Amino acid sequence: MTESLLTIDDFSVVYDVDPPVAAVKNVTLDIQRGEIVGLAGESGSGKTTLAYGVQRLLKPPAVITSGSVTFHDASGEDIDVNTLDVEQMRRFRWDKISMVFQGAMNALNPVATIGAQLDDVFLVHRPEMDRAARRAAVVELLEIVKVGGQRVRSYPHELSGGMRQRVMIAMALALRPQLMVMDEPTTALDVLVQREILRQISQLRHEFGFSVVFITHDLPLLLEISDRIAIMREGRIVELATAEKIWSDPQHEYTQNLLRSFPRLTGEKGVVVR
């Protein structure tokens, strides 16, 4: 029996410019506890705006014009995210829902060590922890994501792109959130490092039980790792189904076109093989 973790209902976002741009249009989506949901679509389809909107990370001129976001906490409490004040929202983020931002591996502070930047998460969100406990937690995180505790004194420029991305995953995992939103987390990485990162995300999901919303334009990648996939086009979810169903029997013409747009390793030139 599935259990809902996050319910998005009739959610819309408009960029209040001249003329106004409807970026997300009446999206309804239910994220189940422990599953990986892929969010796919071309650039500008509204994927990132939706992810930012449900966490109230949007800035003007973006305006949420309709809809509700309900987080079903493991404690049994239903949290109406739209009604949280600034301080409640600060506590909610990273503790309940964390995010690996697009291009995040280049967002680390170049003049602070990896350990210091991870320590800041606990310093802000777990003020009751003493220095020794925070240090132990940081080392544990680096071990979990296979960067290694010995890297605690390293600076970002001393790490490869894949290792920096693992640090960002460690940061998102630090407070053991129930949902992790990942926006194009492997785009700038080569295919071998991508596979290592994806394998680790799946392992961590099984180990800690969190759900994942994985945002990318790379549909074949989502087919490999997702339980369900939502296809977005022009601000709407045009198809939502299991990864197996999306691959074997896509219903929407746009989904079919997305699948045809990726080259195959076999088959004659100019012929799409599915």
48/81 same-domain check: yes
Chain segment 229-274, per-residue pLDDT in tens: 999 999 999 999 999 999 999 999 999 999 988 776 665 655 444 4
Is residue 224, in this structure, part of any structural domain at all?
Answer: yes
**What pLDDT sits at residue 195?**
86
241's tokens: 């189904």
Instruction: Examine the fold and report which residue of 160, 176, 192 is the final residue of a domain before the chain moves on.
Output: 176
Angle at 31 between CA 25 and CA 32, to 5 degrees: 160
Q: What is the pLDDT of residue 273?
A: 46
Whether 274 maps to a domain, the answer reads no
Same domain, 20 and 139: no
* 273 contact partners, CB below 8 Å, separation of at least 6: 264, 266, 267
Last residue of a domain, one of 126, 145, 176: 176
Among residues 30, 40, 39, which one has the least CA distance to residue 2? 30
Q: What is the total count of domains within the chain?
A: 2
71 and 1 share one domain: yes
Stretches where the chain sits below pLDDT 50 are 271-274
What's the pLDDT score for residue 21?
96
pLDDT of residue 192: 84
CB 15 within 8 A of CB 62: yes
- Domain residues for the domain of 74 are 1-96+179-263
Q: Do residues 223 and 249 make contact, with C-beta atoms less than 8 angstroms apart?
A: no
Tell me the per-residue pLDDT of 80-110, one tens digit each, with 9 for 90 and over.
999 999 999 998 999 999 999 877 667 899 9
Q: State whether 144 and 14 are in the same domain.
A: no
Quote the pLDDT of residue 211. Answer: 97
* Boundary-marking domain end, from 113, 148, 176: 176
pTM: 0.91
Same-domain status, 195 and 244: yes
Residues 185, 151 share a domain:
no
